[in-house]
Amino acid sequence: MSNLKKDRESSFEDGLAKMLIVSTNFALEQTGRAWTMMIGTEKRRKNLSNLIGLIYISSLIIAPPVYFFSSMKEIYHSYQTTNQYIKENVKNTANHL
């Protein structure tokens, strides 16, 4: 039963991720079109499109390591807190004996 719930949650999260990617792509495309209408020329349009693509791809490259290292920092902090708690309990138990 719990596996079914986990599968539903993961498929829901996958759906949200796909929806976010599609909406981000749509927003970038519409932004690019709006800028090209204002700018006008084909060469500038292509340069702007390349710039938007570069910003989008660089965010995809930069975001995962940042998220990974921030989560590792949280895990390490949790480890330190737990380790300190265990040391204090061992010391208190030894004092009571």
Q: Which residues in 69-93 are b (16+ Cβ under 10 Å) and which e? A: eeeeeeeeeeeeeeeeeeeeeeeee
- Contact status, residue 46 vs residue 18, Cβ threshold 8 Å: no
Q: What is the tally of structural domains in the chain?
A: 1
Would the CA dihedral through 51, 53, 56, 60 be positive or negative? negative
Dist CA 31 CA 28 (whole Å): 5
1-59 tens-digit pLDDT:
455 555 555 666 677 677 767 777 777 776 666 666 665 666 666 777 777 777 777 77
Which domain, by its residues, includes 14? 2-96
| Predicted local distance difference test score (pLDDT) of residue 57 | 75
For the chain, what is the radius of gyration of the CA atoms? 25
